[in-house]
Amino acid sequence: MISVENAERLERAGVRWKPQSGDRFTLHSAEVIGEVFTVADMVVEAREYPTGTLLAFNGTTEWALDSVQLEQALWLPREDQLRELLGSAFRSLARATMGDFQVLAEVPGQPERVFSSYEAADAYAEALLALVTASAR
């Protein structure tokens, strides 16, 4: 799973989220540090309103949280979502002999680069950050 630090970096870089069933997120709140939620029609449902998107907690009995603004949530994208966001910049994913995952990506205007991390999602996130940063220039 992607680290919270890389998810925050993606958010700051401008990567936006349109919640769908199966998506994972945490909240920008000290009370729920380490808690990961999943959008699901029966548990957490993304509701669109003219004023914005709410994440509604249906049937939660553990604690009193009915809904939060999308801006209060931090998306924790999966590997497949990060790979999709990389689009044609993605070249390959491999496992190095020392155990790290390596994503080979082509950032426009740069030679192909390898982005490594112990978690595949973080290697994808590093590549996406490089792509978004290069695109912003």
| Residue 34 token pair | 């380490």
Taking the C-alpha atoms of residue 44 and residue 19, their distance in angstroms, rounded to an integer, is 10
User: What does the pLDDT average to over 75-100?
Assistant: 95
- Specify whether the backbone of 131 is left (phi greater than 0), alpha (psi in -120 to 50) or beta: alpha
**Could you report the per-residue pLDDT of 111-126, keeping only the tens digit for each?**
999 999 999 999 999 9
Domains of the chain: 18-75 (no CATH), 79-136 (3.30.160)
Specify the pTM: 0.82
Cα–Cα distances in angstroms (integers) from residue 117 to residues 69, 91, 97, 121, in the given order: 31, 16, 13, 8
Contact predicate 115/127, CB 8 Å: yes
pLDDT tens profile 8-31: 999 999 999 999 989 999 999 888
* CB-CB contact of 123 with 1 (8 Å): no
Q: How far apart are CA 93 and CA 116, in angstroms?
A: 10
Structure tokens at 114: 């390898």
